[in-house]
């Protein structure tokens, strides 16, 4: 291998690798989305070790987190780096901004022993109908600026730009009649032209669970892959699962624009395990295993027989307890692993391991929990529970959740403990005016797991004082809000 001291820059080395490997056909793979919106973050190096232990070679990030990208350096894992929608306006209006972004978040990590960044995801579902066109004007200008910036860095041939789209960008009653929504057809026509010119795939997020969750008439067995009594007949084609039907609706929509052969990557697909009816471990395993087997069989779909998606990225790797629950309380429970990197269920990713391997060397807080004090009157507990759950994640207590049936005292204890662990087990955070108490006996009941937090570790090491300060500041702010709501101030 040529060394940089001979005059080769990191970008030149990447270009050389590109030339050598340009004739090789990329292999389809099962990747994962790695989101980091968690109250209990694992050390990024622990997560990278988890990826490697499970032979996962492709990962998609939602933002360019420096600690995450540093941890991925030298791992050999192919990376999709995301740009949040909120950044599109700035990147669309200034090549200076796009040059800076590429320099700080792509060029900086490439080269020998670096992170293998293959794609930049420009926005995330920017055409989502609920955004009412908010980000639409910025997508194409941002793409053009970023492409120019990649070219300046000699990376345009190696790093491809994509735009993950939600499946609501297209519609039809039958797959063969698929078409993009009229209000986004013009911009998506420009998008697919750009993608085609630069050798990039179309990235789509497909969620049969959301179809089932949002429509009581949706046939449940059609969401899975083991056959259905509600098959959809479309001319000579018959669809036995929602994934194939949705995928071919996109194929038809692309065909109407003249790009029927465009490669397609499924950027997000999965099934949540908690927080709502239908979101459970059994259904998640059933869906994800069926999906993996279906894709790796190379059967394809009726409109693309023998041609499965280029890649699929499972959503997601880890639970994210700090995610917004606006779409539903299941949003925090998509992980195939829990927040601490422990496998939730048996799953064969088709990557060489028969079962998922757990994260190793996870640093937990001591084995103690905060629960409702059985010797006190709990009649005044409502406001305390509200305060605890306004900061911590209590979504498993919701209807359909794994902790929904543990009774009133169980609910109180779960809320108290969630807050206590979030505050790094600070003794004061279990007081709740004398209603809480610390126990060393695990109060978990059946499938309802009372968590123990993990220690906060950063790239510069464990900083408990900093973590405690942030947690205590959050507590003070929550108390201020609480007082204001009660009109004491």
Half-sphere exposure of 131 (CA within 13 A, CB side): 19
What is the C-alpha to C-alpha distance for residues 183 and 135, in angstroms, rounded to an integer? Answer: 13
> Where does 345-406 have alpha helices with state H?
382-391
> Where does 379-432 have alpha helices with state H?
382-391, 407-422
Across the strands, what pairs with 92? none
Quick check: 268 and 205 in contact, CB under 8 A?
Answer: yes
Quick check: 435 and 385 in contact, CB under 8 A?
Answer: no
3-state secondary structure of 68: helix
3-state secondary structure of 403: coil
* Catalytic residue of the set 136, 268, 320, 331: 268
Quick check: 39 and 422 in contact, CB under 8 A?
Answer: yes
Q: Count the Cβ atoms, other than its own, within 10 Å of residue 179.
A: 15
* Residue 27: closest CA among 248, 311, 290: 311
Tell me whether residue 226 is one of the annotated catalytic residues.
no
- DSSP secondary structure letters along 275-296: SBTTBSHHHHHHHHHHHHHHHH
What is the C-alpha to C-alpha distance for residues 310 and 197, in angstroms, rounded to an integer? Answer: 18
As given in the structure block, the two tokens for residue 348 are 């064969």
The helix-helix angle for 136-152 and 182-197 (nearest 10°) equals 10
- What single-letter DSSP state applies at residue 274? S
Quick check: 363 and 342 in contact, CB under 8 A?
Answer: no
* Catalytic residue of the set 125, 136, 320, 331: 125
* Residue 262: closest CA among 327, 323, 328, 309: 309
Half-sphere exposure of 447 (CA within 13 A, CB side): 16
Quick check: 34 and 69 in contact, CB under 8 A?
Answer: no
Catalytic residue ranges: 125, 268
């Amino acid at each position: 291998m040529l060394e940089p001291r001979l005059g080769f820059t990191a970008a030149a080395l990447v270009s050389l690798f590109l030339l050598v490997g340009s004739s090789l056909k990329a292999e389809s793979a099962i990747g994962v989305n790695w989101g980091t919106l968690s109250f209990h973050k694992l050390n990024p190096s622990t997560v990278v070790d988890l990826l490697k232990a499970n032979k996962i070679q492709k990962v998609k990030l939602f933002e360019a987190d420096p600690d995450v990208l540093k941890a991925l350096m030298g791992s050999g894992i192919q990376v999709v780096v995301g740009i949040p929608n909120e950044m599109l306006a700035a990147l669309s209006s200034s090549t200076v901004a796009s040059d800076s972004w590429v320099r700080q978040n792509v060029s900086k990590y490439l080269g020998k022993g670096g992170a293998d960044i293959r794609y930049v995801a420009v926005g995330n579902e920017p055409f989502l109908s609920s955004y009412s066109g908010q980000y639409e004007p910025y997508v194409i200008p941002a793409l053009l600026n970023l492409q120019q910036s990649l070219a300046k860095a000699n990376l345009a041939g190696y790093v491809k730009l994509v735009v993950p789209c939600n499946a609501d960008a297209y519609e039809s009653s039958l797959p063969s009649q698929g078409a993009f929504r009229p209000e986004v057809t013009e911009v998506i026509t420009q998008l697919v032209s750009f993608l085609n010119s630069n050798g990039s795939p179309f990235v789509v997020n497909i969620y049969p669970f959301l179809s089932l969750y949002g429509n009581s008439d949706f046939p449940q067995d059609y969401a899975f892959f083991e056959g259905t009594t509600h098959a959809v007949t479309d001319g000579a084609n018959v669809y036995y699962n929602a994934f194939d039907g949705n995928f071919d609706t996109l194929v038809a929509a692309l065909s109407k624009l003249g790009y029927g052969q465009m490669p397609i990557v499924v950027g997000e697909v999965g099934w949540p395990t908690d927080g709502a009816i239908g979101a459970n471990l059994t259904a998640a395993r059933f869906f994800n295993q069926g999906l993996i087997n279906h894709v790796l069989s190379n059967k394809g779909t009726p409109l693309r027989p023998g041609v499965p998606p280029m890649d699929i990225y499972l959503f997601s790797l880890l639970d994210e307890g700090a995610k917004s629950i606006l779409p539903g309380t299941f949003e925090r429970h998509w992980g195939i692993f829990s927040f601490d990197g422990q496998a939730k269920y048996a799953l064969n990713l088709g990557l060489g391991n028969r079962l998922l391997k757990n994260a190793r060397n996870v640093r937990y807080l001591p084995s103690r929990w905060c629960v409702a004090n059985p010797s006190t009157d709990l009649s005044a507990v409502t406001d305390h529970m509200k305060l605890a759950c306004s900061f911590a994640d209590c979504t498993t207590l919701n209807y359909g959740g794994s902790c929904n049936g543990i009774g009133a005292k169980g609910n109180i204890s779960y809320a108290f403990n969630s807050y206590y662990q979030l505050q790094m087990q600070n003794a004061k955070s279990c007081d709740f005016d004398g209603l809480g108490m610390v126990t060393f006996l695990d109060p978990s009941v059946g499938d309802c797991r009372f968590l123990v937090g993990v220690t906060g570790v950063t790239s510069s090491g464990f900083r408990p004082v900093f973590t405690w300060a942030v947690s205590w500041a959050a507590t003070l702010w929550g108390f201020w809000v609480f007082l204001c709501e009660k009109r004491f101030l």
